Structure formats: C-alpha cells, structure tokens
Structure 1
C-alpha cells in the first residue's frame, strides 16, 4: 500500500509541476502575471519573514522601493544584514530594519512580536513568507513536525500576536505564502502534527500549506478589519529546498529555462498588497496575480 501511495503521490506532483510550467510559459508568452499597480506605500510598515534571500528578499526590495518601511524578520542575522545592505545599495532611500525571528521556536516568535510592538507605532502588512522543505523526521524546539511548526504554527502565532496592530491600520493585510502542494494532501487527525509517522516530507510540506489556507479562511471570517490572502508564487528558483540532495545539472536547467525568477515570483504578493480589487477581497487563494478560488 505504501509503494502504491508513493507512486500516485509523485505522479500527482509531476502533474502539478507540468501544469505550473505550462501556465508559466503561456503567461511569459503573453507577458502576463505582473502586478500593474503603481501605488506607493509611504508610511506603511511591512514585516517580511524569511527575507535573507529568494522571494522574501525581493519583496523587501520592491516594497522598500515603493516607500514602505520594511522589517526583515530572519533567523540568520549575518545573512539578513548583508541582504539589507544590498537593498540599501540598490534603493538609497530604503527604510529596512533587520530583526531576529526563528520560526522553529515559539519563544522566539513571542520575543520578536513583543519587540516589534514596542518599536513600531503601527504594523500595516505581514507577509508570512518563511518556510522550509526538509527530508528526515525533524522537529521544532517545541516538538512539532518541522514543516507544520515552521511553515504554519510559527506564522499562525506571529499573525495572532500582531493582529491588534494590524487591525489599527487602514491598510491591514496578512499574506500567507502557500503552495499548490496543498493539493497533494487531505484532512488529518490533530496528533499527526507531532510526528510525521508514514507521511513523506512532501506530504508533510503539503499539510503545512493546506493549514495556511485554512488559517487564511478563518482570518477572513473572524476579522473584517484585516484582509487575509493565501497565495502560490509559482515554481520559483529559491533555496527553500537547499536541504534536499538534488541533481545540480537538472536543477540548473530548470532554474534557467523553466522556473520563475524572484521578481516574477513576487508579483502575486505585490498584487495582493497593491491592487484595488484585491483590497476589496479577503479570504481568497491567489495564483499568477488572480484569485483562483475563495478559501471558504
């Protein structure tokens, strides 16, 4: 049974990747999937988790270029400060601030939120971008399965701790960076989050992304003062899978010719933040700058 499940799980993953690549190539041909808004964010405070590299770093740069004050919430302060310096070099007037946040520790999340609330009068936008994709049965400091703990629980707690600040903003938004991988899993008993058991790392990753979408739905249902969005950035050449052993030649080919770069991967996040129509919506799942379906 396990080999049968393994085969169909990977077959479905191959289908998702193929459909994503075809969509991307079609949109590239038509020059679509771009955030068209020219709106600025002067005076807004934006928190971006996992912004030392990849989509998070690019979002920090693009939002700083639009006048926002960007809080780069990262685990590795050395890499984060280097990324912040790079942003300042490219955007001389950029307001970027590095703060420590380790999503494998709920104590770290609480400490970060407490410091941020004391430091900033307002928090307008939270981008829950940080995530991991790791082989092996690893757990967080608090004993949770690593994907569920980092990709979901840490972001869940951070969102709730900052909610009072976000509700005070006229532009309050929470953006959860999810994935089409949520489609490879299904409902699960609560105790499964502590131990992966028979789940593959891909299924565990999918569960964490499904949880993000369900959380987005609940945020939209319960808090009308804040807009909540879940989104899929596409297949983007980032280092989220840096802990996986991969075929470097094949990976280089995919990254160069078939995967989105970080600017393209950031467009749907920008759309959720800046687009006037998106500002009137909450609780939707976005892909390629369009809402694909409601999370309800």
Structure 2
C-alpha cells in the first residue's frame, strides 16, 4: 500500500526541475512531504517550483543548487542541507544526462558516468550520517532499460580509450542499478533501518529523450509517443519505490507492460548475472577512490 500522508517527511529529489523528478516532486509535495528540489539550473528550478506552487499553494518545497558533475558542488549542497535539517526520510537519485557528445565533469570524469553514477554515489555517501539517524529512511536510485546488455568497463571509465555515447549511457545506468543493490546489501549487513531501492520509468517521454545535439524531429516525437508513456506515468515507479510500505529494500521497480517499457509499477527481476558480487564490490571501491567519499556505516 502506498503511503498517502507524508506530512513531516523530508525528501531530496535530484533533477526535480523537469521530467520524472518534477512529477515525483509534485506528487510527494501534494501528500505533505517537504521536498527539496536539488537542481543544477536554478532558473529552470524556479520555474518548476512556481509550477508546483500554482497547483498546490500549500506545498512545502525548497530550491537548492546541486551540480552532480562537480564534486565540490555536491559537498557544498550536503553541508548546507545538514546545517539546516536534522532528518532525511527520502533521497531520490533521479537526475541524469543521456547520450551527450564526449565530455568530462569538472573533476575529469566521463560526463555520463561522472554525473549519473559518481555524483549520486558521492551525494548519498555524504548524506549517510543523516540517513542513518532517520528512522526507516529510503534511497531510491533511477536506472533505465538501457542497463540491459551493458557492462562496466573498468579499463576505460573515462572514455579515453574510445567513446560511444549510448554504450557509456548504458554503463552509467548499470552502475546506478548495481550501486542501489550494493547499498541495500550494506545497510542490511550493518543492521540499519535504511533501505535502498532501484527503479526505472520504462520508456518515458521526457526532455532526456532526444537524438544527438539538436532538436528531435517532429516525426520522431510522434514515434516516441507511440512506444513511450508520459513523464507523469513514468514517475509512478519512482513514487512506488519511495512510498510502497511493503518494500523491504533491494527491489528493482519497473513498469509491468511488454518489455517493461510501459505500464504500472511492479517488482522487476533483472537478468541473471546482473548482480555480480565481484563487479558490485569493485564498482564500490573504485567509486570511493574516484570521489574520495568513504561510506561509514
């Protein structure tokens, strides 16, 4: 059963200015949660906040600057948050970049792996002290169908030995899935109440869905609408992962339709071999080393 009354709960949603993050922020704030919209572009963030308040003038929201492609920004964000708040019930690692031309984050990581995975890895680790002390806190991390068939190439994480945008996108979203599972394993190993859940929105028609650098052609937008679902529907898996009381941690939530592209939220079982213990532990160790964020459970 989904929790409908979130009064008193505090939630952080990265990339809450558009798409899945924005829809989740609308929903959770409508149920009484205090939602922090953690966004890179504050101008777009202001527009999102105004949109939420127009629909629900009673909504409790706060706009905060967070650039996941800049580890100093991640540290600044967590420092400011923990100075102001003493609890965090829900962290939704939602923000992401999709198939850009080759580029690097401020710290020199390949842009997709650095933003989608390492930025969220650092954010979660730096917020761990407050997550641990908040009863029944949750971390929800978004993956995507593109993780299927992907692998973590530990010998070319920075793309210096060759770069294919879609391959690196799949790698970053597989990293999100493995991180979510390994985080839950470690929560349980240390006897913590906190849980970690992964989810994906199927194929959702958001502003992430584009081709190359330019505007997606009109005929392609029509095709996308045919085999995808609106962002509002795509966000249902995130909301389910965040508020479904029966979840124990470690689950992967996706749409229940054909190919898990569309439909209603349900527990999905990743392909055999996805949760490879050696890969998960190596990814964790490499992520701690690259970000210089050590998890203390």
TM-score (norm 2): 0.82
Name the structure 1 match of 2:198. Answer: 230
Name the structure 2 match of 1:240. Answer: 208
**Pairing of 1:114-129 with structure 2 (within 5 A):** 114-129=79-94
Q: Which runs of 5 or more residues in structure 2 are unaligned? A: 256-264, 276-297
* Partners of 2:69 and 2:105 within 8 A in 1: yes
**Pairing of 1:265-276 with structure 2 (within 5 A):** 265-276=234-245
Aligned CA distance change for structure 1 residues 160 and 265 (closer, same or farther; 3 Å): same
* Partners of 1:196 and 1:204 within 8 A in 2: no
SS at match of 2:8: coil
- Residue 264 of structure 1, aligned match among 233, 246, 254: 233
Q: Does 1:55 align with 2:23?
A: no
After superposition, the C-alpha distances for 1:209-255 in whole angstroms (9 at most, x for unaligned) are 11111111211111132111111111111111456335422232034
* Partners of 2:142 and 2:177 within 8 A in 1: no
TM-score (norm 1): 0.83
Name the structure 1 match of 2:250. Answer: 283
Displacement, 1:184? Answer: 2.9
Q: Which runs of 5 or more residues in structure 1 are unaligned? A: 1-35
Aligned CA distance change for structure 1 residues 257 and 183 (closer, same or farther; 3 Å): closer
Displacement, 1:196? Answer: 4.9
Distance 1:159 1:129 in 2: 12
Aligned CA distance change for structure 1 residues 142 and 285 (closer, same or farther; 3 Å): same
Structure richer in helix, relative to its length: 1
Q: Does 1:143 align with 2:108?
A: yes
Distance 1:228 1:270 in 2: 14
Count of aligned pairs: 258
RMSD of the alignment, in Å?
1.7
Distance 1:95 1:65 in 2: 9
SS at match of 1:87: helix
* Partners of 1:134 and 1:244 within 8 A in 2: no
